[in-house]
Structure 1
Amino acid sequence: MRALSMFGLCGFLLFWLTGCANLSTFEQPRVSVVDVRLRGGKLLAQDFLVTLRVDNPNAYGFDINGVVADVLLNDQPLARGLAEHEIRVPAYGRQDVDVIATVQTLGLLKQIVELGTRRPIDYQVRGHLSLGRGWTRDIRVPFEEQGTLDFWRFIGEQAVPRPLEDDY
């Protein structure tokens, strides 16, 4: 009986150490912004759909349990997005994750007025993924991406007021 419990303990330790070794070889996934779209909203708040692409360089898949993403324009906080749906990212694979970010319309208009009408806008999206790891607690994987956004191209050239033609 004692030999059987010793065998069970050794098996558990081997299983546990294998899991720890798996964590030590974990390579952080790469997260990039692949799309930002105006989704709609109400008078005082607009929703943006921010699509993140998660690339998994590991030999095993993992689950994303949640995402938190902050959107900044010219280093000023603009919106925060949350996603709580579970998504499976396969080994050596990629998966897109949609995050809905809400921005206060007055804050957005204020930033646009401060920036001027034709200057490109520096944007930054940063946050973290919560990756489920079985029995252990979730792993928090930070990400950050930045770039430049041409605001008028983003909302469409039809939004730019045009002067009336003299030949009407």
Structure 2
Amino acid sequence: MRPTLHHLCALLLITALAGCASWAPRDPLHIDLVGLEPLPSQGLEMRFAVKLRVQNPNESAIDFNGLSLALDINGQPLARGVSDQRGQVPRFGETVISVPVTISAYSVLRQAWGASNQQPGQSLPYQLRGKLADGLFGTRRFSDSGQLTWPAQQQPATVR
């Protein structure tokens, strides 16, 4: 009976160590916006399919079974979206994911009001946040931020 108890303890120890190894720190995902396609809308909302390129710089694949996305511009919410899409980002690989997002009329008005003070060539800060979900411990959060440059007005060509 004694050897069986030792074997059981050894097996539990190996299982615990393997579980801890799966919690090893992983590099963050790289997310790039690669496309925006209009979708049918209702009422005063606008809908788009946001296409994201997700790159996985890690040694193991990332499975996901849902995702969410939020885009803020100039510190104000602009677009939100969720999808129950399933897939996998391969190890040291990439995949393109499409997420439907909604922009409410209120968000458009708020952004237009804030943009009325912008000068041509001025930058607006943006922040993109989201998560790829895969159960309790498999969720991978991501974020990206930067500056959007307000387009400068084109001067009409003059003929001399």
Match of 2:3 in 1: 3
Flag structure 2 segments of 5+ consecutive residues without an equivalent.
152-160
Q: Is this contact kept in 2: 1:69–1:125, CA < 8 A?
A: no
Indicate the SS of the match to 1:24: coil
Structure 2 CA distance for aligned equivalents of residues 32 and 147 of structure 1: 14
State which drifts further: 51-60 or 8-17: 8-17
Change (3 A) 1:70 1:123: farther
Instruction: Normalising by structure 1, report the TM-score.
Output: 0.71
1:126 aligns with 2:138: no
Flag structure 1 segments of 5+ consecutive residues without an equivalent.
152-168
Structure 2 CA distance for aligned equivalents of residues 25 and 150 of structure 1: 38
Please report the RMSD computed on the Cα atoms of aligned residues, expressed in angstroms: 2.9
Indicate the SS of the match to 2:71: strand
1:107 aligns with 2:113: no
**Offset at residue 54 of structure 1 (A):** 1.4
- 1:77-136 Cα deviation digits (max 9, x unpaired): 112111222221111111112111101135314523552498467362422323437xx6
Change (3 A) 1:48 1:126: same
Percent of aligned pairs with the same amino acid: 23
Structure 2 CA distance for aligned equivalents of residues 38 and 118 of structure 1: 27
Q: Is this contact kept in 2: 1:61–1:89, CA < 8 A?
A: yes
Structure 1 CA distance for aligned equivalents of residues 65 and 111 of structure 2: 33
Q: Is this contact kept in 1: 2:34–2:52, CA < 8 A?
A: yes
Match of 1:155 in 2: none
Match of 2:65 in 1: 65
Indicate the SS of the match to 2:9: helix
Match of 1:89 in 2: 89
Match of 2:137 in 1: 137
Match of 2:19 in 1: 19
Which has more strand, going by share of residues?
1
Change (3 A) 1:2 1:130: farther
Q: Is this contact kept in 2: 1:73–1:123, CA < 8 A?
A: yes
Change (3 A) 1:149 1:69: farther
Structure 1 CA distance for aligned equivalents of residues 39 and 125 of structure 2: 18
Structure 2 CA distance for aligned equivalents of residues 110 and 143 of structure 1: 23
Change (3 A) 1:89 1:142: same
